Chain A
Amino acid sequence: ETGVTQTPRHLVMGMTNKKSLKCEQHLGHNAMYWYKQSAKKPLELMFVYNFKEQTENNSVPSRFSPECPNSSHLFLHLHTLQPEDSALYLCASSQEEDSIYEQYFGPGTRLTVT
């Protein structure tokens, strides 16, 4: 898990707050991902970045704003969230090899919106 780090590990925020989640990968990968994991639901892909360019936005509400300044860092900026946005937010990275993307996940940020 040390290949992909996420901060903070836990976050409690009010609906009017603005906060950011940070992800850093130390694996030299060129693709990074944000996932949302809610209780009793499958892992939901939110955003995909490949070589810093966003290649997927999976119909995510605009209150979630991703940023990828370079291939090693990925942010998720949060503002005016809803209680239903409380979930575990997972970051992952991968390196394409022969059309295969094996993903390496960080430990996640447990977000609670009050």
Chain B
Amino acid sequence: SQQGEEDPQALSIQEGENATMNCSYKTSINNLQWYRQNSGRGLVHLILIRSNEREKHSGRLRVTLDTSKKSSSLLITASRAADTASYFCATDLANAGGTSYGKLTFGQGTILTVHP
């Protein structure tokens, strides 16, 4: 099975509510990244968390990382209709002292729909 798996596969909420998406992975990572994709478009980098970090914030985004459970979560607070998109986690497996040349492994994504 895949390195990164998100759940839920789909999430539907009302504007103003918070949205939480989870990502699980199987092997040790150097860092984990979250990306957003609007329908049929390219991916946009949202936030990155390194393996030695536990939580990071960026605007309305909060990402957590639990390396003991090999899981991460992305929280979007006070959601807006414009947040409607697919969200992907991506893991970078490079070990300390090595390089992956950015070889990221993506999960299947969570489709978020925010209703106005």
Q: Tell me the bound Cα distance from A40 to B107 in angstroms.
A: 11
Chain A binding surface, main DSSP class: strand
Q: Which residue of A lies closest to B43 (CB)?
A: A105
List chain A residues, Cβ under 8 A from B45. Answer: 102-104
Residues A38-52 near B (CB distance < 8 A): 40-43, 45, 48, 50
Contact B101 A90 (CB under 8 A): no
A88 x B102 contact (CB < 8 A): no
B100: Cβ under 8 A from any A Cβ: yes
Q: How far is the CB of A91 from chain B (nearest CB, A)?
A: 8
Checking A4, A41, A50, A104 against B101 with a beta-carbon cut-off of 8 angstroms, the contacting residue is: A50
Q: How far is the CB of B45 from chain A (nearest CB, A)?
A: 5
Contact A56 B109 (CB under 8 A): no
User: For the side of the interface on A, what is the size category?
Assistant: 20 to 34
Q: Given the complex of chains A and B, what is the CA–CA distance between A90 and B88 in angstroms?
A: 15
What separation, in Å, do the CA atoms of A48 and B108 have in the docked complex? 20
B-side contacts of A92, CB under 8 Å: 42-43
Residues of A contacting B106 with CB < 8 Å?
Answer: 42-43
Do B99 and A33 have beta carbons less than 8 Å apart?
no
Chain B residues at the A interface, C-beta cutoff of 8 Å: 2, 4, 30-31, 33, 35, 40-45, 48, 50, 88, 92, 94, 99-109
